[in-house]
Structure 1
Amino acid sequence: MSVDLWDGALIDAAIWHARSGDVSRQFRYRALYAALPVEALEADRLPLRPDRAGIWRLLRRDYGARDGSPLSDFIRDQLGAIGLDHCHTTLVTMPRGLLNGFNPVSFWLARDDQGLRAVLAEVSNTFGESHLYLCHHPDNRPIRRSDRLTGDKLFHVSPFLPREGSYVFRFDPGPGRFGAWVDWIGVDGTLRLQTSMAGQARPLTRASLRRATLRNAWQPLRVVGLIHWQAAKLFSRGVRYRTKPTQLVTRQSQATKTESTDV
């Protein structure tokens, strides 16, 4: 029986990055994500509860307005701006572990009876900043697994990549799985970076969270270590280090253009 992300789930995700152009390089690792229905999360009906102590933690100040305010208010405001405030929402994210860690991207999924309508990608960098990319069709029709949603790259993520260019997003909301693919296209129109995060979903229970602790409790710190290890490799290969722009656009939603292609 498939696990519905809107009931709450754990996702055993495979993460993949592949860079081309100035240097060819790719790497893979695994990570545990949680799919958290926002309404149930705010009502404390899930095994993982916001702002509670524990091996796995989820803090409201890590998301949305970043001020500890209700997550449901934040996502309702974002979706209301495009006429989708009636949708049910689920937050797909990497919870904190035993110590503070780093979560590169979280995905807020919005759906109704017709299917997935929008995805808000909340991207963070290691400088403590974040940015929102709101992905949807101009007419808000359901997003299919074959749809490519495109938008300008507006946020400084890596010191080894320019801020310019564009993103191409693709999503698979299940049931029974979740997948997100984000490609970066350079200003010259060439594909420069491919990333994916995809995996099967399993039930979110107290028992499954306890079992996940054995393999994943230190994963936020592991992610930080992997990021710096890959950065050191790029630097050793002579890839240009780019300082963070002084004028940085943050906390702004970006609507996207779209095209549909078969896969």
Structure 2
Amino acid sequence: MTDLWDGALIEAAIWHGRSGDLARQFRYRATYAALPLDRLEAGDLPLKPDRRGLWSIRRRDYGHGDGAPLTDFIADILDPHGLPHCRVTLVTMPRGSGYGFNPVSFWLARDDEGLRAVLAEVSNTFGERHLYLCRHPDNRVIAPSDRFQGKKLFHVSPFLPRSGQYQFRFDPGPDRFGAWVDWTGVDGTVRLGTSMAGPARPLTRANLRAAALRQPVQPLRVISLIHWHALKLKMHGVRYRPKPPQLLTARSDAYSTGNRDD
């Protein structure tokens, strides 16, 4: 059994499905790393922070971007919400050949009973980021069927407005990871569905080396695919929206939407 809190590689299938003004689907594959922060900061993983390599992890790519320990950053987020004793695993795409870009990384916080919170760290191609904290108001365990809703406060795609709602859902395994993020327009209709899901295997030196050799420039490939897809949307006449100034709110909350006993 591969537990994400022991370290893992996730062979993820990424899917975007757009409806409304233009029905389009966009698919690609990428390998993500699930990095338990206590072991990452202790240097006890094949990927070590701020070390050069074909694949690498750089602290200042995450959180406040100041290069501080990642454990300190996530503790500042979780502790005020009554979650001081959680173990945290970061699910992210490592840098490839020195270049890094992550459309979204997920900070998974759990205790002995199960998953308690997920921080979705969303980045755009303009170098900006926003944090969506997903949890139940009473911090109960998150089930794979639970959905969390929060306002879309961050400009990501120039072909979507900065309005409406996001709905998040998560499956933390074991032996797999899945995240689903849907965007609902102001009319209440889901206009963009996204998913990132796949099987997990142990994060060993051999598995990491094989993955890095197979995809040495993975983030560059991903951002190239994103721009290629954007070009195709523009060629189909989808309205292009210039980037608005980023809101001062850098973090927001997404709460459960009424399933189970909410």
Both structures adopt the same fold (TM-score exceeding 0.5)? yes
Give the SS at the match of 1:260. coil
Match of 1:166 in 2: 165
Match of 1:226 in 2: 225
Match of 2:206 in 1: 207
Give the SS at the match of 1:14. strand
Partners of 1:70 and 1:192 in 2: how far apart? 37
Off by >6 Å, runs of 4+ in structure 1? none
Match of 1:24 in 2: 23
Percent identity of equivalent pairs: 72
Deviation of residue 256 (structure 1)?
A: 2.1
Deviation of residue 63 (structure 1)?
A: 0.3
Letter aligned with residue 143 of structure 1 = I
Letter aligned with residue 206 of structure 2 = A
Partners of 2:84 and 2:252 in 1: how far apart? 15
Deviation of residue 245 (structure 1)?
A: 1.0
Q: TM-score, normalised by structure 2?
A: 0.97
Partners of 2:161 and 2:143 in 1: how far apart? 30
Partners of 1:249 and 1:95 in 2: how far apart? 28
Letter aligned with residue 229 of structure 2 = Q
Partners of 2:215 and 2:222 in 1: how far apart? 11
Letter aligned with residue 128 of structure 1 = G
Match of 2:41 in 1: 42
Match of 2:122 in 1: 123
Q: 1:171 to 1:238 in 2, by over 3 A?
A: same
Partners of 2:5 and 2:80 in 1: how far apart? 22
Matches of residues 23-172 of structure 1 in structure 2 within 5 Å? Answer: 23-172=22-171
5+ long unaligned stretches in structure 2: none
Conservation of the 8 A alpha-carbon contact between 2:55 and 2:98: no
Deviation of residue 250 (structure 1)?
A: 4.7
**Cα deviation per residue 1:137-165 (whole Å; 9 max; x = unaligned)?**
01100000011111111100011110100
Partners of 2:126 and 2:179 in 1: how far apart? 23
5+ long unaligned stretches in structure 1: none
Partners of 1:56 and 1:11 in 2: how far apart? 15
Deviation of residue 260 (structure 1)?
A: 2.1
Q: 1:247 to 1:212 in 2, by over 3 A?
A: closer
Deviation of residue 247 (structure 1)?
A: 4.5
Match of 1:195 in 2: 194
Match of 2:2 in 1: 3
Partners of 1:116 and 1:258 in 2: how far apart? 17
Q: TM-score, normalised by structure 1?
A: 0.96
Conservation of the 8 A alpha-carbon contact between 1:155 and 1:249: no
Partners of 1:200 and 1:241 in 2: how far apart? 36
Deviation of residue 248 (structure 1)?
A: 2.2
Partners of 2:44 and 2:258 in 1: how far apart? 38
Partners of 1:229 and 1:247 in 2: how far apart? 24
Letter aligned with residue 80 of structure 1 = D
Letter aligned with residue 146 of structure 1 = S
**Cα deviation per residue 1:171-196 (whole Å; 9 max; x = unaligned)?**
00001100000000001101100000
Deviation of residue 218 (structure 1)?
A: 1.3
Conservation of the 8 A alpha-carbon contact between 2:168 and 2:179: yes
Partners of 2:248 and 2:30 in 1: how far apart? 29
Conservation of the 8 A alpha-carbon contact between 2:151 and 2:254: no
Deviation of residue 85 (structure 1)?
A: 1.5
Match of 1:216 in 2: 215
Q: 1:15 to 1:171 in 2, by over 3 A?
A: same
Conservation of the 8 A alpha-carbon contact between 2:109 and 2:115: yes
Letter aligned with residue 118 of structure 2 = V
Conservation of the 8 A alpha-carbon contact between 1:151 and 1:257: no
Letter aligned with residue 174 of structure 1 = G
**Cα deviation per residue 1:200-254 (whole Å; 9 max; x = unaligned)?**
0101011111111232211100001100000000000111110111252452232
